[in-house]
Amino acid sequence: MHDVIVVGAGPAGSRYARQAAASGQSVLVLERGPVGEPLACSGHVSRDIWERTPEGTREAIVQNQISGARFHVGGPDSPAHAFYRDETISEVIDRVALDRHLASAAEDAGADLRVEHTVVDATEDATGVTVTARTPEGRAEFRAKILVGADGPRSRVRQSIGLPEPDELLHGVLGFDTSADNGDRVDVHLDVPGFFAWRIPRGEAGVEYGLAARPEADPVERFEAMTDAYGVETARRCSGLIPIGPPDRVTADRTLLLGDAAAQTKPFTGGGINYGMTAADHAARTVDPSDPATLADYERAWREDLGREIAMGAWIRRAYDLPNAVQRVGLRLTSGRVGVHMDRPSTIFSFDQLRAFVR
Ligand SMILES: Cc1cc2nc3c(=O)[nH]c(=O)nc-3n(C[C@H](O)[C@H](O)[C@H](O)COP(=O)(O)OP(=O)(O)OC[C@H]3O[C@@H](n4cnc5c(N)ncnc54)[C@H](O)[C@@H]3O)c2cc1C
């Protein structure tokens, strides 16, 4: 019997697997695809990420550096309100390569990674967990003391174990233009109900156009309208789900959820790479597979660290649905040089300020 089975070798699962294996646990990772594919992410991250990646990752996967954002209430022709710093705030990375680096680091630490293993069921009992996977050879069963569901927004682990769902799943669409753009500003368009559209310069890798919205708001049609307004034809397209709003419980008797499976994302950007890896570290630090009662320590630790940021992020997101005139005034008053950390809204706002602004 393994100490832990991790389902999903995305950033959250691989980071957890690496840390748990490094502490001497026997870790089995089951991943349905080749690692990192298919792509469904912009890979726009704060520099905190480098605290949790193996040496040499940054040099290998950074595509561009960003020092600010231009917000528009409307399409590309509407006036821009710039928020910026004099130094780099965030970086645009090759997301497929990130997943590969993190998975290799987990293997180097001793984790046993099996690709093309799609988990179809998981159950808990008094002595451990049983996980059933579809493999190239047929079906296989695996046993462990505890189970980590790091299997993304539509988590099969969450469903099999009967843990609650996130509040919402947004639909994100991405398209890529191959013209190089080494600019250091992203564009954000507040003309999508409940969320926004964006343009990210990816250096020599080209330009990314993206949009996320509630599924009923026709994200694909809106995406096409945006790229038409920019006058571009995107060559490559992909899409994915963004979970927003963690459920009240992300642990069961012998199971914990991590990353998108637990909706550990920023409600105001949809970004989840750093939060998922942060939560992975809390899990690896607090959970002892031989003592499932320690799952409660993980539940407490990640919420203490990220709960307030997520709650503030949800308040910021409310501003996306304010009347356009109010948004313009708000942007005009707050734009300019900023000191905010993109993963930590509490570095700039208090709850009272946010509530007052949104109301
Ligand atoms: C359009 C879009 C743009 C985004 N842009 C950004 C961004 O710029 N910055 C940012 O920080 N975040 C961004 N995100 C969010 C980010 O992609 C996620 O928060 C992040 O990938 C979560 O990591 P994870 O490891 O929890 O899950 P995932 O990365 O989803 O990894 C889950 C893994 O589990 C595997 N898996 C799933 N089901 C099974 C199964 N049944 N059996 C075995 N394996 C399984 C999957 O193949 C996958 O490898 C974006 C998301 C979308 C949709």
Complete domains list, the chain, with CATH: 2-319 (3.50.50.60)
Task: Determine which residue's CA is closest to atom 41 belonging to ligand 1.
Answer: 119
Instruction: Return the structure tokens found at 97.
Output: 């390569």
Determine the distance separating the centroid of ligand 1 and the alpha carbon of 245, expressed in angstroms. Answer: 15
pLDDT at 341: 81
Residues ≥6 apart with Cβ < 8 Å to 96? 36, 37, 39
Q: How many Cα atoms sit within 13 Å of 336 on the Cβ side?
A: 4
- Pairing relationship of beta strands 255-257 and 138-149 according to DSSP bridges: parallel
pLDDT at 236: 86
Residue 272 CA, closest ligand 1 atom number: 19
Contact assessment for residue 138 and residue 144, using Cβ atoms and an 8 Å cutoff: no
Residue 260 CA, closest ligand 1 atom number: 26
Nearest Cα to 18, choosing from 57, 51, 54?
A: 54
Residues ≥6 apart with Cβ < 8 Å to 348? 338, 339, 340, 341
pLDDT at 299: 98
pLDDT at 339: 76
Q: What is the best residue among 48, 135, 151, 266 to mutate for testing ligand 1's pocket, by most ligand atoms within 8 Å of CB?
A: 151
Nearest Cα to 64, choosing from 44, 37, 85, 36?
A: 44
Determine the distance separating the centroid of ligand 1 and the alpha carbon of 35, expressed in angstroms. Answer: 11
Q: What is the best residue among 99, 208, 273 to mutate for testing ligand 1's pocket, by most ligand atoms within 8 Å of CB?
A: 273
pLDDT at 359: 64
pLDDT at 90: 94
Q: DSSP secondary-structure letter at 22?
A: H
Determine the distance separating the centroid of ligand 1 and the alpha carbon of 336, expressed in angstroms. Answer: 32
Average pLDDT of adjacent 10-residue blocks, the chain of 359 residues: 98 98 98 95 96 96 96 94 91 97 98 98 98 96 98 98 98 95 96 94 96 94 95 91 97 98 96 98 98 98 96 92 91 84 76 64
Residue 174 CA, closest ligand 1 atom number: 1
Residues with CB under 6 A from ligand 1: 7-13, 30-33, 40-45, 118-119, 150-152, 156, 172, 174, 210, 240-242, 259-260, 265, 270-274, 276
pLDDT at 126: 96
CA 296 – CA 251 distance, rounded (Å): 7
CA 3 – CA 17 distance, rounded (Å): 11
Determine the distance separating the centroid of ligand 1 and the alpha carbon of 334, expressed in angstroms. Answer: 32
pLDDT at 338: 79
pLDDT at 349: 65
Instruction: Return the structure tokens found at 36.
Output: 């990192």
Residue 240 CA, closest ligand 1 atom number: 53
Task: Determine which residue's CA is closest to atom 1 belonging to ligand 1.
Answer: 172
CA 258 – CA 176 distance, rounded (Å): 29
CA 183 – CA 89 distance, rounded (Å): 13
Contact assessment for residue 191 and residue 291, using Cβ atoms and an 8 Å cutoff: no
Task: Determine which residue's CA is closest to atom 18 belonging to ligand 1.
Answer: 272
Residue 118 CA, closest ligand 1 atom number: 42
